[in-house]
Amino acid sequence: MRKTALTEMESEFAELIWSHEPVPSGDLVKLCETELNWKKSTTYTMLKRLESKGIFANRNGIVMAIVNKDDFYAEQSKQFVEETFEGSLPRFLAAFTRSRKLSESEVDAFVKLIKEHKED
């Protein structure tokens, strides 16, 4: 996936699509009117923006994700660590835990993740 950042409104719109996909474009217009107070033209303009970013597609009036939510946010997290901590996950965790302590269950979850993703 190419480097992609979303504005706050794009993020809200993306969340709406991910939670209802696949969604007919007419239904998406109604959802956006109800949830975001948008007009039809705003919905289609925003959809075009997210299509151009390669996240969603409108195929024959059905809007669906090209990139699923988990994959999108995983890539965003990876980019953040790369840009902010020179790609160092330990530096990120050190910064993250500097201002808050981890619970025992959080530590256990980290240890489990590390073991699952450890290089052989």
- Check residues 5 and 26 and name the one with the higher pLDDT: 26
82 lies in a domain? Answer: no
Q: Are residue 60 and residue 17 in the same domain, yes or no? A: yes
Separation between Cα atoms, residue 60 and residue 25, nearest integer Å: 9
78 lies in a domain? Answer: no
DSSP 87: T
Rounded to an integer, the average pLDDT of 24-46 is 97
2 lies in a domain? Answer: no
* The pLDDT of residue 1 is above 80: no
- Check residues 113 and 19 and name the one with the higher pLDDT: 19
For residues 27 and 20, the answer to whether their CB atoms sit within 8 Å is yes
- Check residues 15 and 110 and name the one with the higher pLDDT: 15
pTM of the model: 0.78
98 lies in a domain? Answer: yes
36 lies in a domain? Answer: yes
Domain extent at residue 120 = 88-120
- Check residues 98 and 41 and name the one with the higher pLDDT: 41
- Kindly report the CATH number assigned to the domain that includes residue 56: 1.10.10.10
How many domains does the chain divide into? 2
Q: In this predicted model, what pLDDT tens digit does every residue of 54-102 receive, in sequence order? A: 999 999 999 999 999 999 999 999 988 998 999 898 898 889 888 888 8
74 lies in a domain? Answer: no
* pLDDT confidence tier of residue 30, bands split at 50, 70 and 90: very high
* The pLDDT of residue 23 is above 90: yes
Question: 8-20 vs 40-52: helix axis angle to the nearest 10?
Answer: 90
Rounded to an integer, the average pLDDT of 39-51 is 97
